[in-house]
Amino acid sequence: MTIELKMPALSPTMEEGKLSRWLVKEGDSVSSGDLLAEIETDKATMEFEAIDDGIVTKLLVAAGTDGVKVGTVIAMIQGEDEDAAPAPKSTAPAAALPEASKTLEVVSKPMDTPITISKADVQKQSSGDERFIASPLAKRIAVNKGLDLTSVKGSGPNGRIVKADVEAFAGGVSVPSTVHNSPPLPLPAPHAAIDTDIPHEVIKLSNMRKTIARRLTESKQQVPHIYLTVDVRLDALLKLRGELNASLEARGIKLSVNDMLIKALALALVQVPKCNVSFAGDNMLQYARADISVAVSVPTGLITPIITDAANKSLSKISTEVGELAARAKEGKLHPHEYQGGTASISNMGMMGIKQFDAVINPPQGMILAVGAGEKRPYIVDDALAIATVMSATGSFDHRAIDGADGAMFMKVFKELVEKPLGLVA
């Protein structure tokens, strides 16, 4: 059988990608697990694999091609039940080729990437050619639990079935689809070309920068932000950090102030759970775990790798994970499960001398904490004027889900955790 290999959607926000590099050539035999290509998404450059055996008969999209739409046929694979013969050349663009009756199953390195599967792959008693969208992880869980995915309603993009849908179905709980499947707000109409005699160069937007532009526009237009700021004394935290680093030096670990603030943010979310939420239309998701997205600047924009369950991790573990994730983020090597999700974000620009700023919420999260520089300021200590190291921290809250009083309580708890930092190591 002849199989069409299509550009996969390797993230929920991906609409198009760059086919950076082919890892196979025409005439190559491929087996399940073989790497086929590297694709640059809106977040990272990812490898993806084939799970069917066959022979590559035609590469329809050249390496280095940008702006390849999801679903575009990029190659032809011939199954082992046919004699190998080159696929006929097509004069039509790849995107215009007709739908094939069979689709190559493609799975990226992370496990929650969408693929197209047939019912027969999940339930042997089903028959026919009807098809639906599910992720590999969702498929695996369904098989292990003996579930029929035809009865599961998908909450992912384009109705795809994801892990949460299968787990909710198994437990008899429906998952709100508005969090995952809200239609993206279109960007404003492009501006007319700028006619200028000022020397300049035209820089084409990367996929990441396009996504940042769309998501931040969507956030500011759809999410009513409320901003709350507190001044936090850092002297006790800095003293504790020095003592901890002295004891961790032999293990090659050096805690940063940001590592400790991540832990404080996570603990504050646990203590004030009304701020650990997502607005979902007629519903609200109340998270039982604090997963902290950490804003990291990369050459092509900004990405937010996630420290999962940060409230229950040691400071040394948080420090190690942040270092590893940040390094791979700058290389574009993060897997989707390492940057998709999170229950709240932290953005720290203190190292660049920024005193205070208001950050834009990363939907569907309900809040983000913006951290400024710690600096020597006049401060009242024990009813006397003194000099203390103080930073300003501003919480941006989704006012649809979080009331001002709850946001204020969260900021109060965060301030207390930082100013009495032994609670971070308890």
Q: Where are the domains of the chain?
A: 2-181, 225-424
Q: Three-state SS for 256? A: coil
Backbone angles phi, psi at 216, to 5 degrees: -70, -35
Sequence-distant (6+) residues with CB within 8 A of 265 are 290, 292, 310, 344, 346, 369, 414
Cα-based distances in Å from 379 to 232, 293, 356, 375, 384: 10, 31, 17, 11, 8
Cα–Cα distance, 222 to 422 (Å, whole number): 39
pLDDT of the residue at 153? 73
- Domain 225-424: CATH superfamily is Chloramphenicol acetyltransferase-like domain (3.30.559.10)
* Count of CB atoms situated within 10 Å of the CB of 39: 23
pTM beyond 0.85, yes or no: no
Sequence-distant (6+) residues with CB within 8 A of 116 are 103, 105, 131, 132, 133
* Count of CB atoms situated within 10 Å of the CB of 27: 11
Cα–Cα distance, 418 to 424 (Å, whole number): 8
| Per-position pLDDT tens, the chain of length 426 | 778 888 887 776 678 888 888 999 888 888 867 888 888 877 677 777 776 778 888 899 998 888 888 889 998 888 755 444 444 444 444 443 333 333 333 333 343 434 344 444 444 333 333 445 666 567 767 766 667 777 777 765 456 676 667 766 765 433 443 344 444 445 455 556 778 889 999 888 877 788 888 888 989 999 999 999 999 999 999 999 999 999 999 999 999 999 999 999 999 999 999 999 999 999 999 999 999 999 998 887 889 999 999 999 999 999 999 999 999 988 888 888 898 889 999 999 999 999 999 999 999 999 999 999 999 999 998 899 999 999 999 999 999 999 999 999 999 999 999 999 999 997
Cα–Cα distance, 102 to 121 (Å, whole number): 13
C-beta of residue 266 within 8 angstroms of C-beta of residue 292: yes
Catalytic residue (one of 191, 225, 337, 399): 399
Class of domain 2-181: mainly beta
C-beta of residue 53 within 8 angstroms of C-beta of residue 31: yes
The verdict on whether 337 is a catalytic residue reads no
Sequence-distant (6+) residues with CB within 8 A of 121 are 139
pLDDT of the residue at 67? 86
* Count of CB atoms situated within 10 Å of the CB of 420: 12
With residue 165 as reference, give the H or E element that holds it: helix 163-171
Cα–Cα distance, 195 to 212 (Å, whole number): 26
pLDDT of the residue at 253? 95
